[in-house]
């Protein structure tokens, strides 16, 4: 289990370093950086490479935003298996709903509770 923590730290940290390089060296805005990483995650899953990374690094691969692209592809593929090509469209948010719905719900609660501190 401690190996899991170690690799989660290392892999998660490395994905963040890639993001930092995109921002600092390629001068991308944070929004561009995150969008690029999400697309990268989706493509990696297309090649079947992201799941093994999750098996290996656990939260180190599921917590970075790249996993968002991965789960979108996963949902789409799962549904596609069941319902054919139309499943690609309908299954997309099946797996990712947690991140988005949590962000929406907590975003609203946050707006009720807090004011920007500046």
Name which of residues 19 to 78 contact another protein (CB under 8 A).
19-25, 27, 29-39, 41-43, 45-46, 51-53, 55-60, 62-69, 71-73, 75-78
* DSSP code of residue 4: H
Taking alpha carbons only, the member of 115, 4, 109 closest to residue 55 is: 4
Query: Which residues, 90 to 109, sit near another protein by CB under 8 A?
Result: 92-93, 95-100, 102-104, 106-109
* Burial class of residue 80 (count of CB atoms within 10 Å of its CB; 0-12, 13-18, 19+): middle
Residue 4 is a binding residue for another protein (CB under 8 A): yes
* By the rule CB under 8 A, 83 interacts with another protein: no
Q: Site size for another protein, by CB under 8 A?
A: 94
Cα 64 to Cα 40: distance, rounded to the nearest angstrom: 12
The CA distance from 57 to 113, in Å, is 35
């Amino acid at each position: 289990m401690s190996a899991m923590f170690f690799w989660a730290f290392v892999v998660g940290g490395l994905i963040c370093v890639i993001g930092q390089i995109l921002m600092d060296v390629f001068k991308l805005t944070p929004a561009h950086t995150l969008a690029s990483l999400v697309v990268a995650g989706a493509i990696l899953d297309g090649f079947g490479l992201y799941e093994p990374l999750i098996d290996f690094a656990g939260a180190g691969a599921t917590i970075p935003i790249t996993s968002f692209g991965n789960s979108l592809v996963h949902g789409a593929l799962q549904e596609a298996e069941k319902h054919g090509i139309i499943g690609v469209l309908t299954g997309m948010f099946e797996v990712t709903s947690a991140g988005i719905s949590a962000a929406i719900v907590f975003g609203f609660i946050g707006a009720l509770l807090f004011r920007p501190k500046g």
